[in-house]
Amino acid sequence: MSKLEIRFAGSGGQGLILSGRLLFQAVVLDGKRAAQSQSYEPTSRGGFCNSDLVVADREVDYPLVTAIDYLIALDQIGVAPSAAMMAPGALVLTDARLVPEPPEGDITLHQLPFTDEAIALGSHRAANVVALGTLVGLSGICDRQAVGEAVREGTPKAFLDLNLEALRRGFEMADELDQGEPDGKVVRL
Amino acid sequence: MTAGMANLHGNHACALGAIAAGCRFFAGYPITPSSEIAERMSRELPLVGGTFVQMEDEIASMAAVLGASAGGVKSMTATSGPGFSLKQENIGLASMAEIPCVIANVMRGGPSTGMPTRPAQSDIMQARWGSHGDHPLIALAPASVKEIHDQTIRAFNLSERYRVPVMVLFDQVIAHLLEPIELPAAGSLDLVERRWANGDDGYQPYAAGADGIPAMTRPGDGHRTHTTGLTHAEDGFPTQDPDTVTRVMDRLLGKLDQHGQDIEAFECHDTKDAEVLVVAYGISARAARRAVRQARERGIAAGLFRPITLWPFPEQALRTAADQARSVLVPEMNAGQLVLEVERICRDEVRVAGLNRVDGQPIEPSQIARRIEEMAADD
């Protein structure tokens, strides 16, 4: 069975669980099987939060991540708990402002201004969706249209325009990285 | 929700399974990580003419559930951690007065407040023995979102058929797991409706026929009845006459044995020739499934026995699954609970060992795989 493991890590309140849920919807729309899980601390704001996704071509046997292929870290607090779970060669996207000490090891790391871009679009709260767009743009885990549809279906009306803008910005950031003109620092370890 | 594919959390699947089973009353007190069951019920029940009550605490919630059920409505509650402890006295009343009810318990790290957001499987013995006295009950342990939905429906069916409290035990991981599931069409479900007493002047509320299950009377149907937690005779009134007490307790404690085949559910994977047998339930069983598959790929004769009904434990089925086994491994997120039951059943034939975690982390497939290899090498 071929499978992919994805983790959105950071601090409670950053919309990580929503990102995981949106990506789940998108990959299921794309015809894949998936399981999305979450772990968090009793404090609902602050404290670490992981939102995990296992994507497979058939039914997911064990639904939790064991070797992460894609890590999106939006806050420093999310980095340490994932360190021992990275698959070799994993793609790691971290927030340039909120993750001063990104993970190290056999990974491909992009430090990107998710939060700054979200602020430029109107609210830091959209950083999770900027990151989601970048991840989908870079990885091709699912169709861009599918994640767009998931965002449209899964976002409350008041945030829909902002989230769609954030997603588009995420796609652009992925394209800029692909063209070798990254917004952030690119480190290959 | 309409039939077809749906992306659901475990807790929401529990609520929708309950509604599909005909549950029309929920009383509860929100507690992590079970709260989404109550939340979903509060939205769904009014849409189908049901009643949702947020009570002042867990003790009152359980009491309200018994009252509603005695009034003729399929009823449930959901809880976690300390809330499960608080419900225990009234769960005993349900066993004694034979009032059908369903209790979903999303297990989290304990004891006491413990780790509210972390998974555990540490209420296995409390589910069985948390209420005082010898008492009949059923506990089911689903391992996926789909199974939470289906076993919640089954919990109502068993509860209504055998007049016992039925627990649905799962953990924070599958409670908050999002998986695509196929929802059955409403008419396609096999639902059990309570057997009501009808038209007999000589009605005795606790007199049973050959199946050991007395018919209930619906309030207002005109039968004289009495409901009490005191030990009672067939007429419902308290008794301490030793012969009568022996007779009524034999029926009460024997009624589930009599119907074991209908109640005991389990799943076997590669058990026929398994030399190392893993016995696992809930999320740990999904880790075990991968570990067993990997062991087979490496040429180790490993197998998985997954009890879906934990109480009463499918004893004969385990004996059969362990027939060729030289060792049995029981991984669980507690300090060793169901392993005691497995030891009781298997210890004369095989070596039984536990694999335990009490750190709020799920057991990983690689941990089980390592132990399978060690046990295979020891044999």
Q: Which residue has tokens 């599931």?
A: B181
Q: Which of residues 16-35 of B touch A (CB under 8 A)?
A: 32
Q: Is B338 a member of any domain?
A: yes
Q: Are residues B51 and B178 in the same domain?
A: yes
Mutate to test the interface with A, among B5, B178, B284, B286 (most CBs of A within 10 A): B178
- Is residue B9 assigned to a domain? yes
Q: Total structural domains in chain B? A: 2
User: Could you tell me the two tokens for A8?
Assistant: 């959105």
Closest CA relative to residue A95, chosen from A25, A33, A185, A21: A185
Q: Do B293 and A61 touch (CB under 8 A)?
A: yes
The C-alpha atoms of residue B125 and residue B221 are separated, in whole angstroms, by 39
Q: Which among B79, B87, B30 is positioned nearest to B59, based on CA atoms?
A: B87
The CATH number of residue B285's host domain is 3.40.50.920
User: Is B214 contained in some domain?
Assistant: no
Q: How far apart are CA B149 and CA B273, in angstroms?
A: 32
Tell which of B153, B183, B213 closes a domain: B183
| Selection from B72, B79, B80, B81 nearest residue B51 by Cα | B72
Domain membership of residue B304 (yes or no) is yes
B14 and B135 in a common domain? yes
Q: For every one of its 379 residues, what pLDDT tens digit does chain B have, with 9 covering 90 and above?
A: 667 899 999 999 999 999 999 999 999 999 999 999 999 999 999 999 999 999 999 999 999 999 999 999 999 999 999 999 999 999 999 999 999 999 999 999 999 999 999 999 999 999 999 999 999 999 999 999 999 999 999 999 999 999 999 999 999 999 999 999 999 998 899 999 999 998 777 899 999 999 999 999 998 898 999 999 999 999 999 999 999 999 999 999 999 999 999 999 999 999 999 999 999 999 999 999 999 999 999 999 999 999 999 999 999 999 999 999 999 999 999 999 999 999 999 988 899 999 999 999 999 999 999 999 999 998 7
CB < 8 Å to A41, chain B: 117
**The pLDDT of residue A47 is above 90:** no
Is A141 in contact with A147 (CB distance < 8 Å)?
A: no
User: What three-state secondary structure class fits A53?
Assistant: strand
**DSSP 8-state class, residue A58:** S
pLDDT at A185: 36
Nearest CA to CA, how far is A108 from chain B (Å)? 25
Domain-ending residue, one of B133, B161, B183: B183
Name chain B contacts of A38, Cβ cutoff 8 Å. Answer: 176
Residue-range definition of the domain harbouring residue B151: 4-183
Structural contact between residues A105 and A86, judged by C-beta atoms closer than 8 angstroms: yes
| CATH label of the domain that carries residue B98 | 3.40.50.970
**What domain range includes position A48?**
3-188
Tokens (6 digits) for B79: 């809880």
Q: Name the domain boundary from B183, B205, B234.
A: B183
Do residues B42 and B141 both lie within one domain?
A: yes
Pair (B20, B158) in one structural domain? yes
In a domain, B369, yes or no: yes
Residue B210 buriedness (CB in 10 A; 0-12 / 13-18 / 19+): exposed
B364 contacts on A by Cβ (under 8 Å): 64, 66
Instruction: Give the chain B residue nearest A48 (alpha carbons).
Output: B117
Residues B62, B177, single domain; the answer is yes
Q: For the CA atoms of chain B, what is the radius of gyration? A: 21
User: Could you write out the three-class secondary structure of chain B?
Assistant: CCCEEEEEEHHHHHHHHHHHHCCCEEEECCCCCCHHHHHHHHHHHHHHCCEEEECCCHHHHHHHHHHHHHCCCCEEEEECCHHHHHHHHHHHHHHHHCCCEEEEEEEEECCCCCEEEEECCCCHHHHHHCCCCCCCCEEECCCCHHHHHHHHHHHHHHHHHHCCEEEEEEEHHHHCCEEEEEECCHHHCCCCCCCECCCCCCCCCCCCCCCCCCCECCCCCCCCCCCCCCCECCCCCECCCHHHHHHHHHHHHHHHHHCHHHHCCEEEECCCCCCEEEECCHHHHHHHHHHHHHHHHCCCCEEEEEECEEECCCHHHHHHHCCCCCEEEEEECCCCCHHHHHHHHHCCCCEEEEEECCCCCCCCHHHHHHHHHHHHHHC
| Same-domain check for residues B71 and B178 | yes
Chain B residues closer than 8 Å to A33 by CB: 180
How close B285 comes to chain A (CA, Å)? 9
Q: Residue A117 carries which DSSP code?
A: H
Counting other chains too, the contacts that B202-210 makes at CB distance below 8 Å and 24 or more residues apart are B204/B234, B204/B235, B204/B236, B205/B234, B205/B235, B205/B236, B206/B98, B206/B232, B206/B233, B206/B234, B206/B235, B206/B236, B206/B248, B207/B234, B207/B235, B208/B251, B208/B255
Q: Are residues B179 and B276 in the same domain?
A: no
Report the number of distinct structural domains present in chain A: 1
Q: Does residue B279 share a domain with residue B153? A: no
Does B53 reside within a domain? yes
